[in-house]
Amino acid sequence: MKTVELLERPSEPFEVAIAPDESEYTLNIVGVYQDVASRSWAMQTCQRATLLAGEKRVQNLWFNAHSLSDTGILLEAIRAVLVADAIVISVYAADELPIGLYVWVQAWLPRRLARKGALAALVAVVEPLDSTSVRTIKYPRAVARKGQLDFISQERKRPVVMAEAECFPHR
């Protein structure tokens, strides 16, 4: 199935997220990250929850935002987020986030009805916060509001010199 078909297709009742009560996991975390550094930061942030719940009781699934252009990976990431308790988006402040991130959100958001959870936005910013940083934080906040998810935001300072190279690692 092409990504466009997935987005245009109405949600079927069986696609709406209903996590089974008998799940072996106490906490399901799904994250989308931009590169190795943003993935590491996200995993460090989730480590405390993993320690509290117990490593065997937590499922962590992580997806590179750039790999979401692959339909198979995108579908896996959508299925995972439909039953996630915590959704983590770890990115660098930029005028535009990776297109795969937008596609992923547009695919799961209408299918995740009335499922409690939280969305955490981890945004690497250049201090002081500029308009790019503020826009980058506003997007996940709007997603959380629309999905009726609790919203957590955390900013991390990054060196100005590295900002361009980190945002666009595939150049």
Mean pLDDT of 12-37: 68
As a whole number of angstroms, the distance between CA 92 and CA 34 comes to 7
Query: Which residues lie closer than 8 Å to 166 by C-beta, 6 or more apart?
Result: 34, 35, 37, 92, 124, 158
* pLDDT, tens digit (0-9, with 9 covering 90-100), for 106-125: 999 999 877 899 999 999 88
Residue position matching structure tokens 């078909």:
5
pLDDT of residue 125: 84
Is residue 23's pLDDT more than 70? no
The share of the chain scoring above pLDDT 70, in percent, equals 77
* pLDDT, tens digit (0-9, with 9 covering 90-100), for 33-67: 999 999 999 999 888 888 888 888 889 999 999 99
Provide the pLDDT confidence category of residue 100 given band limits of 50, 70 and 90.
very high
Provide the pLDDT confidence category of residue 159 given band limits of 50, 70 and 90.
low
pLDDT of residue 122: 94
Is residue 98's pLDDT more than 80? yes
Following DSSP, what letter does each residue of 33-75 receive, concatenated? ESSHHHHHHHHHHHHHHHHHH-GGGEEEEEEEGGGGGSHHHHH
As a whole number of angstroms, the distance between CA 16 and CA 26 comes to 20
CATH homologous superfamily of 26-167 equals Flavodoxin domain (3.40.50.360)
Q: What token pair was written down for 64?
A: 């590179």
The DSSP bridge partners found for residue 90 are 33, 122
96-to-62, 89, 132, 134 alpha-carbon distances in Å: 21, 14, 9, 12
> Which SS3 state, helix, strand or coil, does residue 140 take?
helix
Verdict on whether the full-model pTM lies above 0.75 = yes
